[in-house]
């Protein structure tokens, strides 16, 4: 599943729940499930801030997806990558950032599950493991959505085929345009069902 298929989709309770759980476990006032594309980071779920997206060039999560490991920034004002970032120098005044990359089963970085605080801090080992575990479940939910969409498309295709190709429930033969079932070559057509 790619970012364009997920971006700008409506809020969903399951993803909102993951953000709440991450925020509570890591004891941060802000948590996000982000999707990063070429130009922006978009929030599939959010706790603690109302914004629905930010430019990619300001997104700390854009750095997270470059690795498969948890990215931790204990104090963004002291990190050369982020010290001048508008999200650090002004509202929301990010100090702490912890992001677990969301990587699909093809190895593509989709975004991150991140927790944010306005004060410098660290995560315990248990919090780090929990953040990574929740991120894996977010990706599993994304994959479930992809499979469900594929199945729905396949079922719709079968319904279309069924309208074109009618099969007799009695003999399992194909019905022709006149409603007769065509049997094998050695038998005559059956009467309309």
The phi-psi region of residue 56 (left if phi > 0; otherwise alpha if psi is between -120 and 50; otherwise beta) is alpha
In contact, 176 and 165? CB cutoff 8 Å: no
In contact, 115 and 31? CB cutoff 8 Å: yes
Mean pLDDT on 158-167: 60
**CB under 8 Å to 147, separation ≥6 — which residues?**
none
> Which run of H or E residues covers position 152?
helix 125-164
In contact, 38 and 20? CB cutoff 8 Å: no
Helix axes 125-164, 13-26, angle to 10 degrees: 170
> Which run of H or E residues covers position 160?
helix 125-164
pTM of model > 0.75:
yes
Return the pLDDT at 25: 98
Average pLDDT for the chain: 85
Return the pLDDT at 175: 63
**What is d(CA 23, CA 120) in angstroms, rounded to the nearest whole number?**
15
Q: Which of 54-68, 122-136, 153-167 has the lowest mean pLDDT?
A: 153-167
Mean pLDDT on 144-165: 68
Return the pLDDT at 41: 93
Q: Which of 3-7, 121-125, 189-193 has the lowest mean pLDDT?
A: 189-193
Return the pLDDT at 181: 67
Return the pLDDT at 151: 74
Q: What percent of the chain is predicted at pLDDT more than 70? A: 77
**Does the pLDDT at position 164 exceed 70?**
no
Q: 107: which 2 tokens? A: 């190895």
Q: 81: which 2 tokens? A: 């990558």
pLDDT single digits (tens) 70-124: 999 999 999 999 999 999 999 999 999 999 999 988 888 999 999 999 999 999 9
> What 3-state DSSP class applies to 66?
coil
Go through the domains of the chain in sequence order and give each one's CATH number: 3-148 (3.30.450.40)
């Amino acid at each position: 599943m790619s970012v364009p298929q997920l971006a700008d989709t409506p809020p969903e309770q399951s993803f909102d729940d993951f953000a709440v759980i991450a925020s509570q476990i890591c004891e941060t006032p802000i948590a996000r499930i982000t999707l990063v594309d070429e130009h922006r980071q978009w929030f599939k779920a959010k706790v603690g801030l109302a914004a629905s997206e930010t430019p990619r060039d300001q997104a700390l999560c854009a750095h997270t997806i470059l690795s498969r490991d948890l990215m931790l920034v204990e104090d963004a004002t002291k990190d050369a990558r982020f010290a001048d970032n508008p999200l650090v120098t002004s509202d929301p005044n990010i100090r702490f950032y912890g992001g677990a990359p969301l990587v699909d089963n093809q190895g593509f970085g989709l975004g991150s599950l991140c927790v944010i605080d306005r004060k410098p801090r660290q995560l315990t080992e248990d919090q780090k493991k929990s953040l990574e575990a929740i991120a894996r479940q977010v990706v599993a939910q994304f994959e479930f959505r992809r499979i469900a969409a594929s199945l729905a498309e396949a079922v719709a295709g079968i319904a279309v085929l069924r309208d074109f190709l009618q099969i007799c429930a009695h003999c399992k033969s194909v019905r022709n345009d006149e409603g007769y079932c065509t049997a094998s070559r050695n038998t005559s057509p059956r009467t309309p069902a």
